Amino acid sequence: MLIGVVGLNGSGKDTFADYLVEKYNFAHKDFGQEIRDELKFLGKNYLDRIEMINLGNERRKEFGADYWAKRLLDGYSKNEKLVLSSVRNPTEAEVIISNGGIIIEVFASIETRFKRTVERVKSDPSYKHGDIVFEDFKNKELLELKNPDPSKQQTLKCISVAKYRIDNNGSIEDFKKRIDELMNSLI
C-alpha cells in the first residue's frame, strides 16, 4: 500500500506518517527531509523554509517535476507499505497515484499549524534564527500554495487530488482515532 500525505506546514503530515509506521508497519519517507538532507550536504540552512522551497523547485526544474517522487520511490515494491509525507507538487502526487497509491490530506487551522511550527523549530538545538512571526509564516505559505510554474510547489493542486481528508485540530489522541478509522476503511 502506498500513501502520499499532503497538507500545509505544521498540519501533522509527519505525525500521521509516524503513526502509520508505529501501528501499521509502514515505512516512511519524507519529501521535506529529503530536501533538508540535501541542504545539509550542500552546507545550506536546512531549517529555512525558503531554502527548502528553492532547492525543491531548482531540482524539479533541472531534473523534472517528478524528481523528488522518483527519488523517494526508488526501490519501492507494490507489496510494501510505504507512506510519503509532504507532497508539494501535483506531478509528485501523480507519480504516487500512478504507482497504485492514494493521496490523503491532513488539515489543521493556520493558528494551530503556526503554534506547532514554532514549537518544532525552536526545539531544534541548531535553530539560531530569532522569532518566527505569524505574518511571515502566512506569507511563506503563500509561496507553497499555487504557482503557475509546474516545477514549483502547488500544494493546492495536491490537496485537490486527495481522496481523503483527515482533521488534526484536536488532541493527538483524537487524531490517532481518526487515522485508525481511515485505515480500517482502507485495509
User: What is the reported pLDDT for 170?
Assistant: 93
- For 61-70, 90-99, 114-123, 172-181, which range has the lowest pLDDT when averaged over its residues? 114-123
Residue predicted with more confidence, 3 or 149:
3
- Number of structural domains (the chain) is 1
Domain that holds residue 9: 2-186
User: What is the reported pLDDT for 159?
Assistant: 94
User: What is the reported pLDDT for 64?
Assistant: 92
pLDDT, tens only, 69-92: 999 999 999 899 999 999 989 999
| CA-based R_g, the chain, Å | 16
Cross-sheet strand order for the sheet of 27-30: 27-30, 82-85, 2-6, 102-107, 164-167
Copy the grid coordinates of residue 33.
527531509
Q: What is the CATH number of the domain that holds 48?
A: 3.40.50.300
Count of CB atoms within 10 A of residue 137's CB? 17
User: What is the reported pLDDT for 127?
Assistant: 55
User: What is the reported pLDDT for 129?
Assistant: 58
Contacts of 26 (CB under 8 A, 6+ apart): 1, 3, 17, 20, 81, 82, 83
User: What is the reported pLDDT for 72?
Assistant: 95
